Amino acid sequence: MKISEIVVVEGRDDTEAVKRAVECETIETHGFGIRASVWKSLDRAYKTKGLIIFTDPDHAGDTIRKKIKEKYPDSKEAFLPRPKADKDGDIGVENAAPEDIKAALMKARPTRIDNPETGAEGITWEMIVSAGLTGATDSRARRESLAEKLSISYGNAKAMLSHMNAFGITTGEFNEAVRAINDKTDKE
């Protein structure tokens, strides 16, 4: 599979892992302190091919993602579920299996900058509560499963609502993912 956009990763090991999964070009940020030369490369890539931000599913990755997204708002974002990036407590894109990296990149999409509180059809707080994503003993596990199914980053219930609407997740996509989680729970 060939990716036409430039994939933004944190480091050399991430580049190697991504290139084992897909054919693409990458730009490495090398951590928080993104150098001027890297910003120039990002700027050029954003204007010509577009960007897919694919950072580690941890605090550092989220911070880097936010910095880049702030400067390049139309960039797509790809997310790996934390368990798929975890190798004995070391969290990173470089630890993921090629098929998980490929799946995450295939689901990359831009966030909606115009109004992140309302998605294409608008996921509501009532839907979050009704789906058991808050206020239940298994809410955290349900949110983790939902984040994985929708290929968005994990967060608390309020953050998940914001993420789903920022990514334009439709009520149909939401309901389908919740049904799958319920089916899995019923079988256990």
The string of DSSP letters for 30-75 reads -SSS--HHHHHHHHHHHHHT-EEE---SSHHHHHHHHHHHHH-TT-
- Which residue from 77, 100, 74, 67 is spatially nearest to 7, judged by alpha carbons? 77
- 117 domain residue, yes or no: no
Based on the number of CB atoms within 10 Å of its own CB, is 37 exposed (0-12), middle (13-18) or buried (19 or more)? exposed
Average pLDDT of 176-180? 93
Domain that holds residue 77: 2-110
**pLDDT of res. 154:** 83
Q: Which residue among 79, 110, 141 closes a domain?
A: 110
**pLDDT of res. 82:** 86
| Vertex 178: Cα angle to 176 and 181 (nearest 5) | 110
CA distance 161 to 164: 5
If one counts the domains in the chain, the total is 2
Instruction: Examine the pLDDT at 120 and tell me if it is beyond 80.
Output: no
Instruction: Answer yes or no: do 33 and 103 share one domain.
Output: yes
End-to-end CA distance of the chain: 35
Instruction: Answer yes or no: do 104 and 134 share one domain.
Output: no
pTM: 0.76
Instruction: Answer yes or no: do 149 and 97 share one domain.
Output: no
Instruction: Answer yes or no: do 13 and 102 share one domain.
Output: yes
Inter-CA distances, 156 with 61, 136, 163, 175, Å: 17, 13, 10, 19
- 115 domain residue, yes or no: no
Instruction: Answer yes or no: do 76 and 152 share one domain.
Output: no
**pLDDT of res. 117:** 44
Instruction: Answer yes or no: do 91 and 64 share one domain.
Output: yes
CATH of the domain at 105: 3.40.1360.10
